[in-house]
Amino acid sequence: MNHPLFDLTGKVALVTGATHGLGMAMAKGLASAGATLVINGVSSQEKIDKALKEYKAAGFNAHGYKFDVTDEAQAEAAVKRIEDEVGPIDILVNNAGIIRRVPLLEMPLEEWELVIKTDLTGVFTMSRPVVRRMIARGGGKVINICSMMSELGRNSVGAYAAAKGGLKMLTRNMATEWAKDNVQVNGIGPGYFATSQTAPIRVEGNPFNDFIINRTPAGKWGDPDDLAGATIFLSSPASNFITGQIVYVDGGILATIGKPTNEA
């Protein structure tokens, strides 16, 4: 039985980009606390259907919709359809995003604009139709998925860092404008996690693998399941007086300047 402060039974949670990876881990966390899941994808219906099969195999009530979060008309139509077919959206997790690893002097303008549009503007276009309905019903929860790059720079990810830094401030401004309407808006900033995408570099002797383990006080990559607690907390009544905050789930990276590579 879920503790009442963390019980999401009867709630509908829309998690964008939750067909795989960290989005799926967060969505499973919400479902484990009782939420009905709605996931979104944009690349293919086949990918959405594959993800739904995994959710349902775990015993979760899940629904999937294909649409582009950066297209205002598609987002509005999708939200209306979801609320008609599944129910009012109580929780929105803005997780959909992309990254392009190209040095700034070499990045084509269209690539820069695509990252900003997806990772920052997409949160704006996705949130508004959901939050308008939340306000009309008396409240809701919004979680924006930020990043270590909301705080730190790194070579070759300038567009992504600009978008995620902007998303941190968009989160605070959303919180400022909507707090009086009982809509809490917070962010989660994942550190470095062991996913299928990072598997090729998570091998002993790989310089980036060694760097992350050395840079993280916990001394390891995060397990995607480690994101479930923060996601449930920020979606639940336990966080009703918390808004405008970014919770970094990073094993301590932002707490320290790091250590020399030869230090145990």
- Write the pLDDT tens digit of every residue in 193-204: 999 888 989 998
Given this model, what pLDDT does residue 212 score?
A: 93
Whole-structure pTM value? 0.96
- Write the pLDDT tens digit of every residue in 157-182: 999 999 999 999 999 999 999 999 99
Q: Are 66 and 39 in contact (CB under 8 A)?
A: no
Q: What percent of the chain has pLDDT over 70?
A: 98
At residue 24, does pLDDT exceed 80? Answer: yes
At residue 1, does pLDDT exceed 90? Answer: no
Given this model, what pLDDT does residue 264 score?
A: 57
Task: Please give the single-letter amino acid code of residue 152.
Answer: L
Q: 224 Cβ partners below 8 Å, 6+ apart?
A: 21, 22, 24, 25, 193, 194, 195
157: nearest Cα among 223, 112, 187:
112
- For the domain 4-250, what is the CATH code? 3.40.50.720
At residue 77, does pLDDT exceed 70? Answer: yes
Range with the lowest mean pLDDT among 120-124, 140-144, 170-174, 193-197?
Answer: 193-197
Residues classed as catalytic = 160
Domain boundaries defined on the chain: 4-250
Strands in 246-249's sheet, in edge-to-edge order, are 62-66, 36-41, 12-16, 91-94, 140-145, 183-190, 246-249
